[in-house]
């Protein structure tokens, strides 16, 4: 099963349907269902950046700061579908960082935390984690 590691609070925004683009410096040909992994680290600056971005790009009322602060880290926190990789010149979402590639996200939903180590880029989750996820959740076609 493929996963993509994303720092909190960005992972929380994605799996809860608030963020439709994940910006990266690199392109991908990957399309399909992917597990969302939340990295262990989240600095105060990253939290403040996410809160400010919400206020600018997608106002959520009331702003769920408590949920974002307590968002689980260090494992699989959700599942989503990557439908496209939007080049920097075709930005259409406010979440798409200028000069970056944007992984178009659809059908995202949160899952209870299942701890596992993340990795850069897309990575395969350990077999025991994949087994646990399949037993607990209907994840659709995740390769």
The first and second tokens of residue 65, run together, are: 């700061």
pLDDT value at residue 134: 83
- Both tokens of 73, joined, read 């880290």
The answer to whether residue 88 sits within a structural domain is yes
- Please state the pTM of the whole predicted model: 0.84
Structural domain contains residue 95? yes
Predicted pLDDT at 22: 97
Q: Give the pLDDT score at 51.
A: 72
Counting every residue written for the chain, the total comes to: 143
The percentage of residues in the chain with a pLDDT greater than 70, rounded to a whole number, is 83
Enclosing domain of residue 67: 2-136
User: How confident is the model over 105-141, as pLDDT tens digits?
Assistant: 999 999 999 999 999 889 999 999 988 888 877 666 5
Give the helix/strand (H/E) hosting 23. Answer: strand 21-24
- On whether residue 75 sits in a domain, the answer given is yes
Residue 143 forms part of a structural domain: no
Residue 91 lies in a domain: yes
pLDDT higher than threshold 90 for residue 143: no
Q: What is the pLDDT of residue 141?
A: 56
Q: Is 53 a residue whose pLDDT tops 70?
A: yes
Total of domains in the chain: 1
56/95 Cα distance (integer angstroms): 10
What CATH number has the domain bearing residue 81?
Answer: 2.30.130.30
pLDDT of residue 73: 80
**Residue 119 is assigned to a structural domain of this protein:** yes
Summarize pLDDT for 35-48 with one digit per residue, the tens.
999 988 767 777 77
Does residue 104 form part of some domain? yes
Residues 11, 141: Cα–Cα separation, whole Å:
21
pLDDT of 54 above 80: no
């Amino acid at each position: 099963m493929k996963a993509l590691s994303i720092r909190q609070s960005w992972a929380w925004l994605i799996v809860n349907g608030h963020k439709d683009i994940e910006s990266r410096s690199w392109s991908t040909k990957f399309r399909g269902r992917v597990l969302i992994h939340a990295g262990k680290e989240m600095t105060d600056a990253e939290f403040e950046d996410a809160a400010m971005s919400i206020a600018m790009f997608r106002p959520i009322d009331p702003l769920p700061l408590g949920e974002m602060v307590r968002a689980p880290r260090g494992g699989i926190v959700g599942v989503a579908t990557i439908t496209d990789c939007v080049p920097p010149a075709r930005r259409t979402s406010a979440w798409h960082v200028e000069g970056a590639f944007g992984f178009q996200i659809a059908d995202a939903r949160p899952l209870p935390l299942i701890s596992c180590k993340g990795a850069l880029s897309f990575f395969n989750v350990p077999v025991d984690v994949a087994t646990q996820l399949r037993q607990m959740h209907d994840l659709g076609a995740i390769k």
